[in-house]
Amino acid sequence: MLRVALAQLNTVVGDVEGNLALVRDAVRRGAEAGAALTLVPELALTGYPPEDLLLRRAFADASRAALEEVAREVREGAALVGFADAGDDLHNAAAVLADGRVQAVYHKRFLPNYGVFDEARYFAAGTAPLVVEVLGARVGVCVCEDIWYPTPVAGDLARARLDLIACISSSPYHLGKAGARERMLQTRAADCAAALAFCNQVGGQDELVFDGRSAVIDATGEVVARSPAFRADLLVCDLDPGQGARRRLREPLARLLPPAETAPVPVEARPPRAAPAPARRIEPPPAPEAELWGALVTGLRDYVDKNGFPGVVIGLSGGIDSALTAAIAVDALGPDRVMGVTMPSVFSAAISAEDASALAGALGIRFAEIPIAPVVDAFEAGLAPVFAGRGRDVTEENLQARVRGTLLMAVSNKLGLMVLATGNKSEMSVGYSTIYGDMVGGFAPLRDVAKTWVQRLARWRNREAGRELIPGRTITRPPSAELRPDQADTDSLPPYDLLDRIIEGYVEDDLTPREMAALGLPQEVCERVVRMVDRAEYKRRQGPPGIKTTPRAFGRDRRMPITNRHDPAR
C-alpha cells in the first residue's frame, strides 16, 4: 500500500518562522503515521497570498532557507512542500524533500490572474512537468491551478502513467465551490487513471477564507478520504498503487496518448516507519448554512487574531444585521471578547433597544447604552449657522449615523477593540449606507452576504442553538435604518428578495437589465438598481474589508472605476 498524509494548515502570510514550525510539525506527524509522502499546502512557508511581499527578495530568500531547514529533518518517507523559489526569476514552487535534502523542484505552470488572483504579477510560469519515483511509486506533482484544466498539465501527467498525482493548493472559498472542485478532481483522477491527493490550505487571510476539505481520490474517481471544512487537519490514507495500472490495462485509453517526454526523477528516500493502518475518514460536507457560517466564523476569527486585536465592538441597532454580526463574533471569539453598544436616537423604537439588550443577554456579551440625542443636538446647533434657510433632509439622517460611528471609534480607541461594521452585500451594492457612519469599522463580516442570506442564517443559527439567540422579532420586523419617523428600507429599495436577485444577476453573472427582464425580472427596477450599484463604487472603496463568500465579491473580484460615465442600463 501507498500511504499518504495531507496536512491542511492555517498559515499566516509573512510569518515564515511561524509557518516553518507548522510545516515541520506536519512533516513529523506524517512520518510518525507511516506516510511515504506528506503534503502541505501551496506556498505554505510564505502563507498565501503573499502579494507584494514577493517583490522583496529577502522574503523569497527566507522562504528558501526555511525549506532547507524542513528538508534536513525529512529522514523517513518524503514530503512535498510549497515555497517561493527565487533564482533567475521567481516561481510558485513545490519541492520534493527526502533523505535530508531537496531532491526535486516543480514550478507551477498555470498562474491564475483573474478574480482574486494576481500570480502573473509576481511569478514566472513553469514550463515542464515533474514526475518522481519515490519508494516504488510513480508520483506526478502539480500546484493548485494546474489541476483545473484537462491539458496540458493533467494531460502530461496522464501520459506518465502515474500511481499518484500529488496536488498542493491554496484554493479560496466561496459558497458552493467545494462541491464543484471535488467533482473536477474526481474527473482528473479518473481521466488519468491515477489516484489523486489534493492538499488545501485552511483559514482566513484578509478578505479570503480557505476551506480546506483536502481529499484523496482513487484511480477510479472515487473519494476515499476527506478532511473537514475550516479546520486544520492531518488526513492519512492508504492507497493501492496498482489500481491505476490495472485500470489502464482494462481501459487502455492512455495508449492513444504519446509517451511522456520526460523521465521520472528518482528520489532517494528511506522507507517510513511501521504504523497502524489509518481509519477510513470521509468527512461529510456541511449543509449550505453551516458552510457559510463556518466561513464567516473562520474569516472573522483569523482576521482578529492574526492582527492581534483583543476583541471587537459592535453597534447593536436591534436590527438583524448587527444581531447576526454579534452572533458570528461570539462563535468566532467567545463572548468575553465581544462588546455591544446600543445608541438610540429620538427616532429609535423602544423595541429596538429591548431587542438589542435581549440579544446581548442571550449571547452573554458586554453591553452598553449611549443615547445619541444630546450629541446630535450639539452637532445640529453647531451647524445651524451654515444650514440657515435650508430644510431638513438626508443630511440630518446621515448625521445620526456619523455620530454613532464616532462613538464606536471612541470606544475602539479607548478599549482597544476593533469595530465591526454590520452592513450586508445588498446594502453595500446600492450604497444604502452612510460613509463615515454605519460603514465605520475595521472589518465587515457580512460585506459579501446578501440580505436574504442574512435572514436565512439568523433562523438557522437559532435552530442550531435550540433557542432564540437572535430575538425572533429582530428577524421578522421590516428592516429600517430608523433615521426618520416610520422609515422602512423599502422606502428607498425594492423588496430584498427582488433586490438580491438583481444584484446577483448584475454583479455575479454580468447580466444586463434587458437580459434579467427576459428571465422575468422587472426591467425598470433592474435599470434603477444597476445604476445604483455603479454609483456606489466610491463608497465601497472607502469601506472596510470583508469576507469573500460569493463567486464575485466587491473589491478584489470586481474592480470598477469610480470615475465612470458608462450607463450600465443601456
Give the CA distances from residue 217 to residues 193, 251, 317, in Å, rounded to whole numbers and listed in that order: 11, 18, 48
User: What is residue 451's predicted lDDT score, i.e. its pLDDT?
Assistant: 94
pLDDT at 166: 97
Residue 490 clears pLDDT 70, i.e. is over it = no
The active-site residue, picked from 142, 144, 199, 526, is 144
CA gap 401, 539 in Å, rounded: 15
199 in active site: no
Whether 568 has a pLDDT exceeding 90, the answer reads: no
Q: Average pLDDT, stretch 243-271?
A: 81
Q: Where do you find CATH 3.40.50.620 in the chain?
A: 290-485
The number of angstroms, rounded, from the C-alpha of 417 to the middle of its chain's C-alpha atoms is 23
| One CATH from 3.40.640.10, 3.30.465.10, 3.30.2010.10, 3.60.110.10 for 2-267 | 3.60.110.10
Please provide the average confidence, as pLDDT, over all residues in the chain.
Answer: 92
Take residue 448 and report the three cell numbers written for it: 459579501
Taking alpha carbons only, the member of 453, 447, 467 closest to residue 540 is 447
Residue 543, Ramachandran bin (φ over 0: left; ψ between -120 and 50: alpha; else beta) = beta
34 has a pLDDT exceeding 70: yes
Q: Which of 435, 440, 460, 420 is nearest to 539 (CA)?
A: 435
pLDDT for 310-336, tens place per residue? 999 999 988 899 999 999 999 999 999
Q: Which of 150, 161, 162, 149 is nearest to 257 (CA)?
A: 161
Quick check: is 42 catalytic? Answer: yes
The answer to which of 236-245, 266-275, 334-343, 481-490 has the lowest mean pLDDT is 481-490
Name the active-site residue from 42, 76, 207, 397. Answer: 42
Report the alpha-carbon angle 333-19-336, nearest 5.
Answer: 10
The pLDDT tens digits for 370-416 are 999 999 989 989 989 999 888 888 888 888 899 999 999 999 999 99
78-86, strands of its sheet edge to edge: 101-107, 90-98, 78-86, 37-39, 2-8, 233-239
Q: How many angstroms separate the CA atoms of 418 and 544, rounded? A: 11
Which band of pLDDT confidence, cut at 50, 70 and 90, is reported for residue 308? Answer: very high
144 is catalytic: yes
Across 208-222, 288-302, 346-360, 543-557, least confident range: 346-360
Residues 367, 340 contacting (CB under 8 angstroms): yes
Task: Decide if pLDDT at 51 tops 70.
Answer: yes
Q: Which of 67-76, 103-112, 114-123 has the lowest mean pLDDT?
A: 114-123
The closest of 8, 14, 7, 48 to 30, measured between CA atoms, is: 7
Q: What does the pLDDT read at residue 484?
A: 57
Residue 28 pLDDT exceeds 90: yes
Query: Considering the domain 290-485, what is its CATH architecture?
Result: 3-Layer(aba) Sandwich (3.40)
Question: Which residue is catalytic, options 108, 306, 451, 539?
Answer: 108
Q: Cα–Cα distance between 432 and 435 in angstroms, integer?
A: 10
- As given in the structure block, the three cell numbers for residue 552 are 464575485
**CATH 3.60.110.10 residue ranges for the chain:** 2-267
Distances (CA, A) of 381 to 230, 287, 343, 375, 391: 51, 53, 20, 10, 14
Is the pLDDT at 235 greater than 80, yes or no? yes
pLDDT of residue 345: 82
pLDDT tier for residue 545 given thresholds of 50, 70 and 90: very high
- Indicate whether 17 pLDDT > 90: yes
pLDDT at 482: 58
pLDDT band of 353, cuts 50, 70, 90: confident
| pLDDT attached to residue 246 | 86
Distance CA 567, CA 433 (A): 22
- Answer left, alpha or beta for residue 428, where phi above 0 means left and psi between -120 and 50 means alpha: alpha
Cβ-proximal residues to 233 (8 Å cutoff; 6+ apart), any chain? 6, 7, 8, 202, 212, 214, 227
- Determine the 3-state secondary structure of 188 from DSSP: helix
Whether the CB-CB separation of 92 and 119 falls below 8 Å is answered with yes
Position 487 scores a pLDDT of 62
- The yes-or-no verdict on residue 463 having pLDDT over 60 is yes
pLDDT reported for residue 563: 81
